[in-house]
């Protein structure tokens, strides 16, 4: 997720919100808090810090029935905790127990330790953390496997987890699926240039051309700047960023104003690992998966376009697999249309998990 876009959109709200705006925010946060209450007799609602990879990291476990399949979310960003989307995804918790983990450099984990307390901050460290979180949840819930659901930046970690450890995961579900191809695929770059030409955005066009199509050649600053250009070049993506992401952040019942500042600081801090992720060559790492494999992608995603995700999916060998496009969605498809995403989980994924 481009931290620069979220920061720019939310900064004005946080810097000097009017009294009326704060009052409305509190009303919405109170309503969301009521919505999030879990009162079912067999439900579970836990949150707190767990020692993972040498530092305390925030994990929440929520669901209406402990007997339901357990989802482990691997969030995007980098540094963009999914906890802001709790009210939007409350319906998921009626059918699954959902584990949300704030990686080092994200959310409550970042807030607790600050930028100097995140320890080693590399893609390999995040991957090892994810394995520790997986084993913690398997032990805590008394289960052999969890359902792995990764979005955006998190899919780079998710694919590695699914490839290497099918003994820990019942299935893999990727959304906003990144397929890094070693710089060979320039279709997203060409599409960006065409959108910028059509819109007459000469300055952004020149900047995009200067950076070139290979993300492995970009600096962290260029990686962030390019994400901003991509988002603002597409009306659907930009609208989703403002109406889904920023509104979820602003009205989150789990984040104070100070928490919102920390949330945005985490994304800025975590951008340093983004360029490392785009150097991955998913094709070289392998298309053989020993577990069910699913990709549910926004039909109009310009950040992680559906065409490379579809091509990779077609090459995958797996015990079961499926691919679906979510219409009227760009990036953040599962959060723009959480009910549609849930329907895909229930009709296409859960039968394989229960089999």
The model's pLDDT over 125-181, given as tens digits with 9 standing for 90+, comes to 999 999 999 999 999 999 999 999 999 999 999 999 999 999 999 999 999 999 987
Give the Å distances, CA to CA, from 178 to 161, 210, 211, 267, 302: 14, 23, 20, 18, 11
More confident site: 289 or 183: 289
Average pLDDT over residues 28-37: 95
pLDDT at 6: 61
Q: Please state, rounded to an integer, the average pLDDT across all residues of the chain.
A: 92
Q: Whole-structure pTM over 0.75, yes or no?
A: yes
Strand partners, 97: 70
Classify residue 328 as left (phi > 0), alpha (psi -120 to 50) or beta: left
Burial tier of 199 (Cβ tally within 10 Å: 0-12, 13-18, 19+): middle
Q: Copy the structure tokens of residue 353.
A: 């998990």
Nearest to 77 by CA among 110, 52, 53: 110
- Residue 347 has a CB neighbour count (10 Å cut-off) of 11
Q: Tell me, what's the pLDDT at 93?
A: 98
Contact 148, 72 (CB under 8 A): yes
pLDDT over 70 at 45, yes or no: yes
Mean pLDDT over residues 17-43, rounded? 89
Q: Is the pLDDT of residue 12 over 70?
A: no
Q: What is the mean pLDDT of residues 256-266?
A: 91
Mean pLDDT computed over 262-278: 89
Please state the φ and ψ torsions of residue 243, each to the nearest 5 degrees: -85, -30
- 3-state SS, 92-110, equals HHHCCEEEEEECCCCHHHH
In the prediction, which pLDDT does 23 show? 87
- State residue 279's pLDDT score: 84
- pLDDT score recorded for residue 22: 86
| Averaged pLDDT for residues 79-86 | 96
Contact 7, 267 (CB under 8 A): yes
The count of residues in the chain is 355
Give the other-Cβ count within 10 Å of 162's Cβ.
24
User: In this predicted structure, what is the pLDDT of residue 108?
Assistant: 96
Long-range pairs of 239-247 with CB within 8 A, sequence gap ≥ 24: 240/329, 240/330, 240/331, 240/332, 240/336, 241/2, 241/5, 241/6, 241/9, 241/332, 242/9, 244/88, 244/332, 244/335, 244/336, 245/1, 245/6, 245/84, 245/332, 245/335, 246/6, 246/9, 246/10, 246/13
Contact 204/229 with Cβ under 8 angstroms?
yes
pLDDT reported for residue 11: 54
Pick from 236, 227, 247: which is nearest to 152 by CA?
A: 227
Check: CB of residue 103 under 8 Å from CB of residue 83: no
Share of the chain above pLDDT 90, in %: 77
């Amino acid at each position: 997720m481009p931290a620069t876009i979220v920061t720019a959109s939310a900064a004005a709200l946080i810097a000097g919100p009017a009294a009326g705006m704060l009052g409305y925010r509190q009303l919405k946060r109170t309503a969301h808090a009521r919505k999030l209450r879990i009162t079912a007799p067999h439900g579970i609602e836990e949150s707190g810090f767990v020692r993972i990879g040498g530092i305390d990291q925030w994990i929440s476990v929520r669901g209406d029935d402990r007997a339901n399949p357990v989802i482990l979310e691997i969030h995007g960003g980098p540094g963009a905790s999914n906890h802001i989307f709790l009210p939007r995804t409350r319906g998921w918790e009626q059918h699954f127990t959902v584990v949300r983990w704030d990686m080092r450099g994200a959310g409550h984990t970042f807030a607790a330790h600050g930028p100097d307390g995140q320890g080693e901050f590399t893609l390999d460290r995040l991957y090892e953390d994810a394995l520790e979180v997986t084993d913690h949840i398997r032990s805590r819930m008394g289960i052999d496997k969890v359902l792995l659901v990764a979005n955006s930046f998190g899919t780079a970690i998710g694919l590695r987890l699914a490839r290497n450890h099918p003994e820990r995961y019942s299935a893999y579900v990727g959304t906003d699926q990144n397929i890094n191809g070693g710089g060979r695929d320039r279709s997203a770059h060409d599409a960006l240039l065409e959108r910028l030409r059509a819109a007459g955005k000469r300055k952004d066009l020149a900047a995009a051309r200067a950076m070139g199509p290979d993300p492995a050649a970009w600096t962290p600053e260029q990686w962030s700047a390019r994400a901003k250009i991509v988002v603002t070049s597409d009306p659907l993506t930009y609208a989703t960023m403002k109406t889904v992401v920023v509104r979820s952040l602003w009205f989150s019942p789990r984040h104070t104003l100070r928490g919102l500042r920390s949330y945005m600081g985490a994304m800025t801090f975590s951008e340093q690992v983004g360029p490392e992720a785009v150097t991955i060559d998913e094709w070289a790492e392998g298309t053989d998966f020993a577990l069910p494999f699913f990709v549910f992608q926004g039909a109009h995603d310009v950040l992680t376009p559906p065409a490379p995700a579809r091509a990779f999916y077609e090459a995958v060998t797996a015990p079961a697999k499926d691919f679906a496009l979510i219409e009227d969605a760009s990036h953040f498809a599962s959060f723009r249309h959480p009910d549609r995403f849930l329907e895909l989980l229930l009709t296409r994924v859960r039968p394989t998990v229960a089999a």
